[in-house]
Amino acid sequence: MSRVLIGSDHAGFCLKTIVKDWLIKSGYEITDVGCFSESSCDYPVFARDLCEQIQTNTASLGILICGTGLGMSMAANRCKGIRAALCANEYQARMSRAHNDANVLCLGARVLGQDLALSILEVWLKTEFEGGRHKRRVDIIETL
């Protein structure tokens, strides 16, 4: 996985710039779906735009950042095929990939410090889906 999609609203914009810098330094290519300033905007718009790209290229991964991460995760999880995980620690990040095959990571910029956010991101990107019994459960999610 070398290309990562990323999106935020105004509350997540500052953390998004930090995350983007980290991703680029770590060798990832990124597609930023917006927003592009700290002007007030609507998080579901960016969740939708990012999730549509994942629905087109189902192998891709995305990161969505808003103030709490809640709105982005609610919006993203309305999109078919999207398994968005709001993570506040590295354990959730690891398990959301290993057991839930999360394809979108949601972060709360007003909840997490910068170092913790980057640590969560690193764990999330490096963890592979374990498959097996977890695949059966994820397949059930997709029927809901």
Which of 103, 92, 120, 104 lies closest to 19, judged by CA? 120
Position 66 contacts ligand RB5 (CB under 6 A)? yes
Within the chain, what is the greatest distance between any pair of CA atoms?
44
Respond yes or no: is residue 10 known to be catalytic.
no
Kindly state the smallest distance separating residue 7's Cβ from ligand RB5, in Å.
Answer: 12
Distance CA 11, CA 66 (A): 5
117 is an interface residue for ligand RB5 by CB under 6 A? no
What does DSSP assign to residue 28? Answer: -
Q: Is the peptide bond before 35 cis (omega within 30 degrees of 0)?
A: yes
Q: What is the rounded CA–CA span in Å between residue 10 and residue 35? A: 7
Q: Does 11 bind ligand RB5 (CB under 6 A)?
A: yes
**By CB under 6 A, residue 118 contacts ligand RB5:** no
Report, in Å, the least distance between residue 72 CB and ligand RB5: 7
- List 14, 41, 79, 99, catalytic entry: 99
Give the x-and-dash track for 85-104 against ligand RB5 (CB under 6 A).
Answer: --------------------
Q: Could you give the residue numbers annotated as active site?
A: 66, 99
